[in-house]
């Protein structure tokens, strides 16, 4: 019984390590299939570009949800998912940029320069990507030790990146905030999720949750790595 239990716990630990990677790669598998199957609608390039941007934002918000999940449940493994999910959010954001400048514009820098001046959402998106790049480059423990307290201050910019990503999203959909035109663009939904996540991070709210938490996950899950 003891051996079986240890074996099951070992499988559980491995499964939990795989979850963020599977969650980040499944959208890529679907996008590749949809592109090859011509299932992206009448404007596949725009659909793919928006899908990559939504995926980047979704993964970013999931990474921001890890700390509140730990606060509410006491599950330590949730904290270990923040870094890989944050890196995948950056990866998808880079993919979103590549769809825009490569697939859509074919690296036509002349056309890009002309359009960027009339599309301020591009500047907002570029700033978001720059912040995510800085966070990705300094995500390693070596940087954490080197920067000390400044590392936490730097990585709080992830919240600014999320807000800027939403501003970019609102600008792109041009008033279709509820997806009423038949698209799946739902920036108001994402805004609500981010607002809740930010509220859960407020110190008074976190203290109230910890004091009032009537249940916890079993201790063995809290210690799971």
Q: Within a 10 A sphere around the Cβ of 65, how many other Cβ atoms?
A: 20
Closest C-alpha among 186, 215, 213 to residue 200: 213
Contacts of 173 (CB under 8 A, 6+ apart): 183, 185, 187
Strands (E) located in the chain? none
Average pLDDT over residues 121-143: 91
Q: Which residue has the higher pLDDT, 182 or 146?
A: 146
**Best mean pLDDT range from 15-24, 82-91, 145-154, 184-193:** 82-91
Q: How would residue 210 be classed by pLDDT, with cut points 50, 70 and 90?
A: confident
- CA-to-CA distance for 177 and 27, rounded, in angstroms? 23
Q: Tokens at residue 161, please? A: 């990146």
Residue 3's pLDDT is 46
Q: Judge whether 131 and 161 are in contact, CB under 8 Å.
A: yes
* Token pair of 133 as six digits: 């790049």
Q: What pLDDT shows up at residue 110?
A: 72
Q: How far apart are alpha carbons 70 and 113 in whole angstroms?
A: 45
pLDDT at 223: 47
8 A C-beta contact, residue 88 and residue 59: yes
- Please enumerate in sequence order all residues whose Cβ is within 8 A of that of 159, keeping only pairs 6 or more positions apart, or say none: 64, 198
Give the pLDDT confidence score for residue 176 in this predicted structure. 62
What pLDDT score was predicted for residue 136? 94
Q: How many domains does the chain have?
A: 1
Query: How would residue 93 be classed by pLDDT, with cut points 50, 70 and 90?
Result: very high
The Cα 155–Cα 158 span in angstroms is 6
Distance in angstroms (rounded) separating the CA atoms of residues 111 and 94: 20
Six-digit token string for 36: 């090859």
Q: Which domain holds residue 87?
A: 2-222
Asked which of 82-96, 105-119, 184-198 is least confident by mean pLDDT, the reply is 105-119
> Using 50, 70 and 90 to split pLDDT, how confident is the model at 190?
very high
pLDDT at 216 over 60: no
Q: Which residues contact 9 (CB under 8 A, 6 or more apart)?
A: 220, 224
Whole-angstrom Cα Rg for the chain: 20
Q: What DSSP designation does 213 have? A: -
Confidence of residue 17 (pLDDT cuts 50, 70, 90): confident
Return the closest-CA partner of residue 187 out of 93, 54, 63, 95: 54
């Amino acid at each position: 019984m003891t051996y079986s239990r240890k074996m099951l716990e070992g499988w559980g630990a491995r499964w939990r390590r795989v979850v963020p990677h599977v969650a980040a790669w499944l959208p890529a598998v679907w996008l590749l299939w949809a592109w090859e199957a011509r299932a992206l609608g009448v404007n596949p390039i725009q659909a793919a570009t928006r899908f990559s941007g939504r995926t980047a934002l979704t993964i970013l918000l999931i990474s921001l949800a890890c700390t509140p999940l730990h606060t509410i449940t006491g599950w330590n493994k949730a904290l270990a998912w923040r870094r890989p999910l944050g890196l995948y959010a950056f990866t998808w954001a880079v993919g979103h940029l590549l769809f825009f400048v490569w697939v859509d514009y074919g690296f036509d820098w002349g056309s890009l320069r002309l359009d960027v001046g009339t599309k301020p959402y591009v500047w907002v998106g570029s700033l978001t990507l720059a912040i995510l790049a800085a966070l990705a480059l300094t995500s390693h423990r070596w940087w954490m030790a080197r920067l000390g307290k400044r590392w936490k201050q730097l990585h709080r910019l992830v919240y600014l990146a999320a807000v800027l990503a939403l501003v970019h999203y609102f600008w792109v959909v041009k008033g279709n905030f509820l997806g009423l035109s038949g698209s799946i663009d739902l920036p108001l939904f994402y805004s609500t999720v981010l607002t809740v996540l930010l509220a859960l991070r407020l110190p008074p709210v976190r203290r109230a949750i910890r004091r009032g938490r009537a249940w916890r996950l079993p201790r063995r899950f809290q210690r799971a790595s």
